[in-house]
Structure 1
Amino acid sequence: MITVLVVDDDFMVARVHSGYVARTPGFAVVGTAHTGADAVRLVDELAPDLVLLDIYLPDMPGLDVLRALRNGAVDPDVIVITAATDVDTVRGAMRGGALHYLIKPFTYSALHDQLQHFATLHTRLTALGSAGQSDVDEVFGARPRAGAGLPKGLTEQTAELVASTLREGEMSAAECAAAAHLSRVSARRYLEHFVATGRAHVRLRYGATGRPERRYRLS
């Protein structure tokens, strides 16, 4: 069983993320923390295999927590889960050794993919007495492909077409559909999948009347 510590300043969000972990076979939540200090303390006490770490904490930045964990005795693996989208924070998480960076809000499937990826790495490394180059290549090359884990009815070829279209800039589902020569319903399915898996962001543009327009852009 892979043990997980969930760190988030929002009690309800921490509960949701803990529920996501609990739904995933082979994983168990051993604790939750709502401050950076509690996160560091609980890692020392509980020695989790994995930490889901928020960046916006009330007492210290999540990147400082990440650095503290890297200098500690336990040194668990970390997946950053945050609403922070600035490049400096992403770069800081990468340099701090985070395995992945999930942007809130995300769905269970997005976190599930990363937990399964972590389980693959964890199992592979645990089984190795020593690592040859082929073993290292397998471990470091085991990240999920962009088109992996597509919901039923979606194809990798069309996913890449939609992604290529979205590289032109922010657009609505209707604009993307027109540019990619797809139906609006089909384009929106791919766009919402990209949002759910962290490959794209969405914002609402409000007009004078009616429902707000959803605008998509690649992460």
Structure 2
Amino acid sequence: MIDVLVVDDDFRVVNIHAGFVAKVDGFRVVGTAASGAEALEAVERHRPDLVLLDLYLPDAFGLDVLARLRAEGRECDVMIISAAREAEAVRGAVRSGAVSYLLKPFGFNDFRERLEQYATRRAGLAAAAVHDQADVDRAFSPPASGPAAALPPKGLSAETVRLVETALRETSGTLSAAECAERIGVSRVSARRYLEHLTESGKADVGLRYAGRGRPERRYRWR
């Protein structure tokens, strides 16, 4: 059983998330918190395996709470659940070691998929024996979400793939490589490589926009 702490300053959201957790086999809520200070106290008291952490708390930014947990040596994992769509927030979550980042609003199926992916990866790490570099790479790779899921091609990082996916997901229309690069802080050439990878993987669509006599611009949309 995976013990979960739910952290959000809106009690209605806490109840919704706690209800979602209760519907996923293998997970249970052991506590809730409405602020950064309460979250730190609750982690000390309940020793959860996983913290569902909002970023916009009344007394602290969620990533600062995560940093405090790491500084205090807390071994719990943290999944960010927030409406924060800024690329810097996503990059900060990746740098801080968050296991996932789920944008509000979301449905139960998306939530369940993230928890099940986490449980699969957690079980794999617990049972893993490290014999060579391939074993290490598997430990750091994102969990597969279906039969077609695979590691990014050589030269592409799983963390940057997730950043590009987030940029596409939060775009209501289409996104060019240059626009994507500006949002997540990489070069246009790199953004283009990741966008093409998502297109080839069937996760994104690409179309051409013609403007004047110049070369058409490739624009991408999340499927």
Please name the residue that 2:77 is paired with.
77
How does the TM-score come out when normalised to structure 1? 0.65
**Paired residue for 1:16?**
16
Deviation at 1:109, TM superposition (A): 0.9
Whether the 8 Å CA contact 1:5–1:52 is kept in 2: the answer is yes
1:57 aligns to 2:57 (yes or no): yes
One-letter amino acid of the counterpart of residue 133, structure 1: Q
Q: How many residues are aligned here?
A: 161
Q: CA deviation at 1:111?
A: 1.2
Q: Is the 8 A contact 1:52 1:81 kept in 2?
A: yes
Q: Mind listing any 5+ residue stretches in structure 1 that lack a counterpart?
A: 150-162, 173-198, 201-216
After TM superposition, give the deviation of residue 73 of structure 1 in Å: 3.2
Q: Counterparts in 2 of 1:158-177, with a 5 A limit?
A: 170-171=172-173
Paired with 2:14 and 2:44, the residues of 1 have a C-alpha distance of: 20
Amino acid at match of 1:2: I
Secondary structure at 1:37 match in 2:
helix
* SS of the residue 2:51 aligns to: strand
Q: How far 1:108 moved relative to its partner? A: 1.0
Change (3 A) 1:131 1:15: farther
Counterpart position of 1:98: 98
Distance (whole Å) between structure 1 residues aligned to residue 136 and residue 41 of structure 2: 32
Q: Tell me the C-alpha RMSD between the 2 structures.
A: 2.9
| Aligned-partner residue type, residue 77 of structure 1 | D
Amino acid paired to 2:12:
M
SS at match of 1:85: coil
CA deviation after TM superposition for structure 1 residue 123, in Å: 1.0
**Counterpart secondary structure, 1:68:** helix
Letter of the 1:104 counterpart: K
Q: Alpha carbons of 1:13 and 1:71: their partners in 2 closer, same or farther (altered >3 Å)?
A: same
- Structure 1 residue 121, shift from structure 2 partner: 1.5
- Percent of aligned pairs sharing the same letter: 47
Match of residue 124 from structure 2 = 124
The verdict on how the C-alpha distance between 1:28 and 1:71 changes in structure 2, with shifts beyond 3 A counting, is: same
Cα deviation for residue 171 of structure 1 reads: 4.0
Distance 1:147 1:55, change over 3 A: farther
The verdict on how the C-alpha distance between 1:93 and 1:142 changes in structure 2, with shifts beyond 3 A counting, is closer
Matches within 5 A, 1:1-219: 1-128=1-128, 130=130, 132-145=132-145, 170-171=172-173, 218=222
State how far apart, in whole Å, the 1-side matches of 2:65 and 2:140 are: 25
Please give the TM-score of this superposition, normalised by the length of structure 2: 0.64
**Secondary structure of the structure 2 residue equivalent to 1:32:** strand
5+ residue gaps, structure 2: 150-164, 175-202, 205-220
